[in-house]
């Protein structure tokens, strides 16, 4: 009478051994699918077309907010809010820094207006 139990447990063990590879295969396929998704997601985000970075993207200002002249890469640049504020000459950055935030915002708005007008 114990034998029946042994037998049934043997069969259930056998069944497990039979089912397990299938389950593993399912897990493998799920992992593989996830891997493909993760890869394509990372691949897409690495593409230069989509600058969807988690960090706030910075806007480069192409004109000096002080003189409204075209900014030169040799001059200093200052990070303000999410802008890279560029200047036409050294010294303008100091002038910019001494402005109040309201004045800075106003200057940046002027620069953006100017560079957007130039772009189109």
CA count, 13 A, side-chain hemisphere, 90: 1
Q: Which is nearer to Zn ion, 67 or 99 (CB)?
A: 67
Q: How many Å separate Cα 29 from the centre of its chain? A: 28
Q: Which is nearer to Zn ion, 74 or 101 (CB)?
A: 74
Closer CB to Zn ion, residue 2 or residue 74?
A: 74
The least distance separating Zn ion from the CB of residue 116, rounded to whole angstroms, comes to: 19
CA-atom Rg of the chain in angstroms: 31
Contacting positions for Zn ion (CB under 5 A): 64, 66-67, 87-89, 92
Neighbours of 99 (CB within 10 A): 15
Q: Residue 74 CB, nearest distance to Zn ion (Å)?
A: 12
């Amino acid at each position: 009478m114990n034998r029946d139990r042994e037998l049934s447990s043997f069969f259930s063990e056998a069944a497990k051994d039979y089912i397990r590879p299938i389950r593993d295969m399912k897990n493998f396929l799920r992992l593989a699918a996830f891997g493909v998704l993760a890869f394509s997601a990372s691949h897409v985000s690495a593409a230069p077309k989509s600058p969807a970075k988690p960090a706030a993207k910075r806007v480069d200002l192409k004109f000096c907010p002080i003189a409204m002249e075209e900014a030169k890469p040799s001059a200093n640049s200052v990070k303000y809010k999410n802008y890279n504020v560029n200047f036409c000459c050294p010294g303008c950055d100091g002038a910019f820094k001494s402005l109040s935030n309201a004045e800075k915002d106003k200057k940046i708005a002027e620069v953006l207006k100017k560079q957007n007008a130039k772009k189109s």
